[in-house]
Amino acid sequence: MLNYMTTGESHGKYLAAILEGMPSGLKMDLDFIHQELQQRQQGYGRGGRQKIESDTVEILGGVVKGMTTGAPVGFLLTNKDFKIDQMPDLERPRPGHADLAGSLKYDEPIRPVLERASARETAMRVAVGGLCQLFLREVGISAVGHVIQIGRAAVEKETDLTVDEIRTRSAGSEVRCVCEKTSQEMKKVIDDARQKKDTVGGKYEVRVSGVPIGLGSHVHHGRKLDARIAHQVMGMQSVKAVEMGSGSDLASRFGSQAHDEIFYDSAKGYYHKTNRCGGIEGGMSNGSDIVVRATMKPISTLGQPLASVNMKTRKPEKADFERSDICAVPAGSIIGTAIVSCVIADAFLEKFGGDSMREIRRNYDGYLKQIRA
């Protein structure tokens, strides 16, 4: 239902994206999208680039008088730090980046590879995901991302805060963590990494509330909602693991501690008192919050470069250095929220179809009546 593609390089003139499939009648709130883009640039441990850019997007099409028309929506971001044609090439690929494989695969220097592989591209994911978040809010669905671990500093237990409480608390933290004490521990981990000319990764959690039972499907692997979320989140730079709900913790539990018992009352309908499945069972949303956790590896560019090979001489040399972040996990929680919002919006449109917001609401209301009947 929803498809998008991005184009552009980290130091090219522009980054752009086109989102196809958004229905008509949705208000384009650019202030909200710019707020998400600004949040993506924040975060304790972010690099020098974020002091140069102040990311905003222009709308290229698909929006007339502030409302979507049902046509593809185009986004354009202009890079202030546009200097790609003057930048030197690298000869010593950085371990952990796309440099070596990309240069050999595309039979080209490292520079064009790193420029496209850069996490700079995630600015467009956030712009597209921002519009998807605006769509989801119209049908009572709200998504938020927050940081649960940086290095060895981690929140002690799963938070039982609501999405709105997470949004407020994480926005007040320089590392987007809901716990003040853990935020300070995380900042210290980042300071230690910076001092050692190293980098550090961590984990973020995306939580989505208001999702109705029945998005996704059990009938075909490609339609499973958890598989679609995992695919898209794994496609974000630096992500090396994606979990739903209690995820890998389930490996050590017995079934009696791993599943979510079912209850019913006339006011709430079917409900659960636990959410170990992360809101998805059998590939379908089950009415509980959707909970996704992603592990981000430490940034690949190190101030103390690792061993590499000069691709011209094949002689062992230390990897090249490029300006970079020490930690990008707080930014990752914003990017992950945008990515998950795109998947949920896609699954919502798949089930409730429609070309206009009015038609979609009519379809959705009819379904809610049906499952409550």
* Footprint on this chain of ligand EPS (rule: CB under 6 A): 10, 47, 49, 81, 118-120, 122-123, 299-301, 322-325
User: Please, which residues have CB within 8 angstroms of residue 27's CB and are 6 or more apart in sequence?
Assistant: 66, 67, 134
Q: Minimum CB separation from ligand EPS for residue 8, in Å?
A: 11
Select from 109, 44, 96, 42 the least CA-distant residue to 237.
96
CB of 334 vs ligand EPS, minimal distance in Å: 10
β-bridge partners, 206: 145, 292
In the bound state with ligand EPS, the residue whose beta carbon lies nearer, of 56 and 363, is 56
Question: Which amino acid is present at 308?
Answer: S
What's the closest the beta carbon of residue 121 comes to ligand EPS, in angstroms?
A: 8
Residue 83: CB minimum distance to ligand EPS, A: 9
- The residue among 288 and 300 lying less far from ligand EPS, judged by its C-beta, is 300
CB of 238 to ligand EPS, least distance (A): 8
Asked if 132 contacts 179 with a C-beta cutoff of 8 angstroms, the reply is no
Joined tokens for residue 44: 């304790």
Contacts of residue 370, Cβ cutoff 8 Å, sequence gap at least 6 = none
Q: Smaller CB distance to ligand EPS: residue 280 or 299?
A: 299
Euclidean distance between CA atoms 230 and 306, whole angstroms = 30
Q: Is residue 2 a contact partner of residue 19, using CB atoms and an 8 Å limit?
A: yes
Name which of 8 and 47 has its Cβ closer to ligand EPS.
Answer: 47
Q: How far apart are CA 201 and CA 96, in angstroms?
A: 13
With contact defined as beta carbons under 8 Å apart, do 241 and 297 qualify? no
Q: Which is nearer to ligand EPS, 8 or 279 (CB)?
A: 8
> For ligand EPS, which is the closer residue by CB, 73 or 327?
327
The 67-69 sheet, strands edge to edge:
24-27, 67-69, 63-64
Smaller CB distance to ligand EPS: residue 57 or 215?
57
Distance CA 26, CA 13 (A): 30
Q: If you ran DSSP here, which 8-state letter would residue 248 be given?
A: G
Nearest to ligand EPS of 118, 142 (CB atom): 118
Cβ at position 31, least distance to ligand EPS in Å? 20
- Whole-number minimum distance, CB 369 to ligand EPS, in Å? 44
Give the shortest CB-233-to-ligand EPS separation in angstroms: 17
Q: Is 60 helix (H, G, I), strand (E, B) or coil?
A: strand
Residues with Cβ within 8 Å of 206's Cβ and at least 6 positions away in sequence, in order, are 143, 144, 145, 233, 290, 291, 292, 293, 294, 333, 336, 337, 340
Nearer to ligand EPS, 15 or 277 (CB): 15
Residue 120's identity, in one-letter code, is R
**Rounded-to-integer distance, Cα 338 and Cα 208, Å:** 11
28: helix, coil or strand?
A: coil
Least Cβ distance, residue 125 to ligand EPS (angstroms): 10
Query: Least CB distance from residue 182 to ligand EPS, whole Å?
Result: 24
Q: Which residue is nearest to ligand EPS (CB)?
A: 49
Give the nearer residue to ligand EPS in terms of CB position, either 47 or 62: 47
Cα separation, 31 vs 184, in Å, equals 30
